[in-house]
Amino acid sequence: QVQLVQSGAEVKKPGASVKVSCKASGYTFTSYGISWVRQAPGQGLEWMGWISAYNGNTNYAQKLQGRVTMTTDTSTSTAYMELRSLRSDDTAVYYCARVGPDLTIFGVVIIRGFDYWGQGTLVTVSS
């Protein structure tokens, strides 16, 4: 069965960086993209970006450009999301999600849906 297992909760100070991992199992990792989605306390879902696990292509939300980097390690079927220059409003639960059903056109991941989700990782930014 498809599973996405994320790393544990983090507490960071403003200005620091955080790197969250997402280990996939139960499917061919390189056949799907991975998106990252975050949810601030009591708020809605915010799409952060996607990475193609096939070729490493990425596309980030405009508001996070320059602060976020998404990578994958195909040898361990793990996706990573690093967010830098953390601020208090980055406090949120961060989810990884498989982009599926899969559809990639000319290296661009087409988001038809997010069919499997990780359990979420709480990142708290506080001085």
Partner 1 sequence: QSALTQPASVSGSPGQSITISCTGTSSDVGGYNYVSWYQQHPGKAPKLMIYDVSNRPSGVSNRFSGSKSGNTASLTISGLQAEDEADYYCSSYTSSSRGVFGTGTKVTVL
User: Which residues are near partner 1 by CB under 8 A?
Assistant: 35, 37, 44-47, 49-50, 59, 61-62, 95, 97, 101, 108-115, 117-120
Distance of closest approach, residue 18 Cβ to partner 1, in angstroms: 19
**Cβ nearer to partner 1, comparing 29 with 36:** 36
Residue with tokens 């799907």: 32
**Cβ nearer to partner 1, comparing 14 with 50:** 50
Distance of closest approach, residue 127 Cβ to partner 1, in angstroms: 27
Question: How far, in Å, CA of 9 to CA of 54, rounded?
Answer: 28
Residue with tokens 């990639």: 104
How many other CB atoms sit within 10 Å of the CB of residue 54?
A: 18
Half-sphere CA count of 46, side-chain side, radius 13 A: 18
Return the bridge partners of 26, or none. Answer: none
Structure tokens belonging to residue 51: 């990475």
**Cβ nearer to partner 1, comparing 49 with 83:** 49
Distance of closest approach, residue 68 Cβ to partner 1, in angstroms: 13
**Cβ nearer to partner 1, comparing 23 with 120:** 120
